[in-house]
A = this chain, B = another copy of it.
């Protein structure tokens, strides 16, 4: 799979995104990481493997305590890909604004006719 697909696939899970969010505040052990999730260590380890293969986390080499840390660089390519569509979602909000303005204007006209 290409890097961009691997990155997006890794992000397509709320637990994995929560792990990245946790690691954004500093490196930590797998046991610490697992705590807020009410998940078994093997289940967490599976998510960590997906993140590690995607290059989004790295594991320390200390034998006892292999801390996980965030590796954010693949997120740059993903953001760059998405940024190309910014003009499209902005345009969609502008169309919505224009529609709401039109509806308000019509409402006002109707209000004047009634009074």
Interface of A with B (CB < 8 Å)? 2, 4-6, 8-9, 11-14, 17, 20-21, 24, 70-73, 75-76, 78-79, 81-86, 88-89, 92-93
Minimum CB–CB distance for A15 against chain B, Å: 10
> How many copies of the chain does the oligomer comprise?
2
List of B residues within 8 angstroms of A85 by Cβ: 20, 24, 70, 72, 75
A8–B13 CA distance with the chains assembled, in angstroms:
8
State the CA gap A76–B9 with chains docked (Å): 18
- Identify the interface centre among A70, A75, A83: most chain B CB within 10 Å of its CB: A75
* Interchain Cβ contacts under 8 Å between A and B, 17 examples: A2-B14, A5-B14, A8-B9, A8-B11, A9-B9, A12-B12, A20-B85, A24-B85, A71-B92, A72-B89, A72-B92, A75-B82, A75-B89, A76-B86, A78-B82, A79-B83, A79-B86
